[in-house]
């Protein structure tokens, strides 16, 4: 009898405890602020827009760039509208061969598309065919031809046509001559790219299959069929075609050695061969953000400045003989994370982040075209691709 009474008492206490917990949870939920519809909570917004770099590895690296990702929260992340409203380009630095600019409000996939197009799909002119009359240097013919093909040619490729199966003519071919000899008894010499001489009238080598019995007064048939001289065209009258640099070493010749050849350059793209790629490196990275959430002062500030290999931090004098660390050059941060590997204290005081939709983009041209022109051409190529997709779908 007493046992039954004890069981009933313990059951009542358990139900009362569960009821108290439920009421406590309900009260906690009631006190929570409502999630505003049409706007993401701060923590979700942070994960959507930032990559957070911890001492061991970055987190929140995923991107949610598709329509309806936050529809349940009343947020319409329409990619087209977002791109039209937020996308912009800010040029940071521009020189003859280099350009650094910021692409803001863009998806990583689109930024990578520009990079790949610049490397592989913007056309240039490069030496494709080499006719060697004499080569007594130590460099084999095929290696010499390969070296010549990698010399960038300073000419606007938009003025030329793709060769395909057409006869080489003034509209699709550039002919250059290289004839260098090292005299016997002399010193070894270097053959430089400045020795490549542009032949505006086309090839000077007669075709091997030409009939030797033909009239001597007739003009010999060569490997090209130019109807006019290229230097008579207004595009080249004031801008002779030449390598981007005249100091590129092609070969070294010893006494008595000679190179005599003709090089034919045609239009192509880097997807076919790297010699047609108009850029050296072209790369992008997300904009780094360095935030000091808790003051780092005096000796610790000096240690932090010394720890950073790219000098992101600097020291500020705050008076009374005290010094404080400040973020002076956040753009230079490479996220090596040396500043937060010193211990838990610094990791709690310094936050390293990257913006997912803000990219630092750098183009280094080989000198064929200015970098701003290369980027414009890449945009046109991507636009043509989009037009073809829309046309095929419709």
Q: What is the pLDDT of residues 152-194, one digit of tens each?
A: 999 999 999 998 777 899 999 999 999 999 999 889 999 999 9
> What CATH architecture is 124-208+220-277?
Beta Complex (2.170)
Report pLDDT digits (tens) over 355-368. Answer: 999 999 999 999 99
Q: Where in the chain is the domain with CATH 3.30.1360.10?
A: 88-122+278-393
Q: Where in the chain is the domain with CATH 2.170.120.12?
A: 124-208+220-277
pTM for this prediction: 0.82
Identify the pLDDT of residue 210.
54
> What CATH architecture is 88-122+278-393?
2-Layer Sandwich (3.30)
Report pLDDT digits (tens) over 306-353. Answer: 999 999 999 998 888 888 999 999 999 999 988 888 766 777 889 999
What's the chain's average pLDDT?
A: 86
Mean pLDDT per segment of 10 residues, for the chain of length 394 residues?
51 64 63 62 84 87 74 71 83 95 91 96 96 95 96 95 86 95 93 96 82 57 89 86 95 96 96 95 94 88 90 88 90 90 78 93 95 96 94 89
For the chain, the three-class secondary structure string (H helix, E strand, C coil) is: CHHHHHHHHHHHHHHHHHHHHHHHHHHHHHHCCCCCCCCCCHHHHHHHHEEEECCCCEECCCCCCCCCCCHHHCCCCCHHHHHHHHCEEEEEEECCCEEEEEEECCCHHHHHHHHHHHHHCCCEEEEEEEEEEEECCCCCHHHHHHHHHCCCEECCHHHCCCCCCCCCCCCCCEEEEEEEECCCCCCCEEEEHHHCEECCCCCCCECCCCCCCCCCCCCCCECCCCCCCHHHCHHHHCCCCEECCCCCEEEEECCCCEEEEEEEEEEECCCCCHHHCCEEEEEEEEEEEEEECCCCEHHHHHHHHHHCCCCCEEEEEEECCEEEEEECCHHHCCCCCHHHCCCHHHHHHEEEEEEEEEEEEEEEECCCCCHHHHHHHHHHHHHHHHHHHHHHHC
């Amino acid at each position: 009898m007493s046992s039954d009474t004890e069981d009933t008492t313990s059951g009542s206490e358990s139900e009362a405890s569960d009821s108290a917990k439920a009421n406590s949870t309900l009260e906690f939920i009631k006190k929570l602020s409502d999630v505003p519809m049409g706007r993401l909570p701060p923590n979700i917004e942070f994960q959507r827009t930032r990559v957070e770099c911890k001492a061991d590895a970055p987190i929140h690296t995923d991107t949610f760039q598709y329509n309806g990702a936050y529809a349940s929260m009343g947020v319409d992340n329409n990619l087209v509208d977002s791109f039209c409203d937020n996308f912009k380009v800010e040029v940071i630095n521009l020189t003859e061969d280099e350009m650094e600019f910021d692409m803001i409000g863009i998806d990583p996939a689109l930024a990578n598309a520009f990079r790949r197009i610049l490397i592989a799909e913007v056309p240039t002119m490069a030496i494709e065919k080499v006719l060697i009359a004499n080569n007594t240097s130590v460099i084999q013919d095929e290696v010499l031809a390969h070296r010549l093909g990698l010399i960038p040619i300073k000419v606007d490729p938009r003025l030329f046509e793709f060769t395909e199966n057409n006869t080489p003519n003034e509209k699709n071919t550039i002919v250059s001559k290289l004839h260098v000899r090292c005299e016997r008894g002399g010193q070894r010499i270097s053959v430089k790219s400045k020795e490549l001489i542009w032949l505006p009238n086309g090839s000077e080598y007669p075709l091997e299959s030409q009939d030797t019995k033909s009239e001597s007064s007739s003009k010999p048939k060569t490997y090209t069929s130019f109807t006019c001289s290229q230097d008579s065209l207004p595009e080249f009258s004031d801008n002779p075609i030449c390598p981007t640099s005249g100091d590129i070493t092609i070969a070294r010749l010893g006494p008595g050695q000679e190179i005599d050849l003709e090089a034919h350059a045609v239009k192509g793209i880097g997807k076919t061969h790297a010699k047609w790629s108009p850029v050296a490196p072209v790369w992008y990275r997300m904009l780094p953000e360095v935030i000091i959430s808790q003051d780092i002062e005096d000796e610790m500030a000096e240690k932090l400045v010394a720890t950073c290999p790219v000098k992101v931090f600097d020291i500020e004098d705050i008076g009374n003989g005290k010094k404080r660390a400040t973020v002076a050059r956040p753009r230079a941060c490479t996220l090596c994370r040396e500043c937060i590997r010193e211990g838990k204290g610094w990791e709690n005081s310094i936050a390293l982040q990257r913006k997912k939709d803000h990219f630092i983009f750098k183009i280094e041209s080989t000198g064929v075209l200015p970098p701003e022109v290369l980027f414009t051409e890449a945009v046109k190529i991507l636009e043509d691709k989009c037009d073809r997709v829309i046309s095929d779908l419709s």
